[in-house]
Amino acid sequence: MSTAHHSISRWKHRHGIVVWIGIALNLVFAIPLLVAPLWLMRVLGLPLSTAILWPRFAGGLLIILSVFYIPMTVDLDRFRIFAWLAILPSRSFGAVFFLGAILLNGEPPVYFIAVLIDGGIAIASLFCLIRVSTLEQGVAEGRVT
């Protein structure tokens, strides 16, 4: 295996690790939202919702979304488009949505946790995918061996 191919494999592995960290962080919030929404809202200091259906629904959707991140960690080449979609719109939307909620709607600053998680995972994933793509393009053009 050439140095470039070895480097591509390492960046793909790093991308997989970043995505799995993001999935784990999602589940830290999603599972309590689904099974004990009032407890999580109290822990985070959020106003208690009178209709706990919506926090539970959000937790369920977050779990479903996290499942869709798994294929790209198994085979990044086959599911490359999903890796890009996981960054934009998925993670980017989450970060922008919660940042806007804080800045524009006056929502509690605790939502900044979501900005940090989604934004951090999006940036780390983007960096890994750019490195993979750049190295692959270099190999394809014969610039990198």
pLDDT at 144: 82
State the pLDDT confidence band at 2, using cuts at 50, 70 and 90: confident
pLDDT at 29: 95
- The whole-model pTM stands at 0.91
Please say if the pLDDT value at position 49 is more than 80: no
Please say whether the dihedral angle defined by the alpha carbons of residues 125, 127, 131 and 134, taken in this order, is positive or negative. positive
- Round the average pLDDT of the chain to a whole number and report it: 95
pLDDT at 99: 97
For the stretch 59-113, pLDDT in tens is: 999 999 999 999 999 999 999 999 999 999 999 999 999 999 999 999 999 999 9
State the Cα–Cα distance between residues 84 and 55, nearest whole angstrom: 27
State the Cα–Cα distance between residues 11 and 18, nearest whole angstrom: 10
Q: Looking at residues 38-54, what average pLDDT do you find?
A: 88
State the Cα–Cα distance between residues 114 and 111, nearest whole angstrom: 6
Among 22-31, 44-53, 73-82, where is mean pLDDT lowest?
Answer: 44-53
Give the Å distances, CA to CA, from 39 to 45, 46, 98, 126. Answer: 10, 10, 21, 34
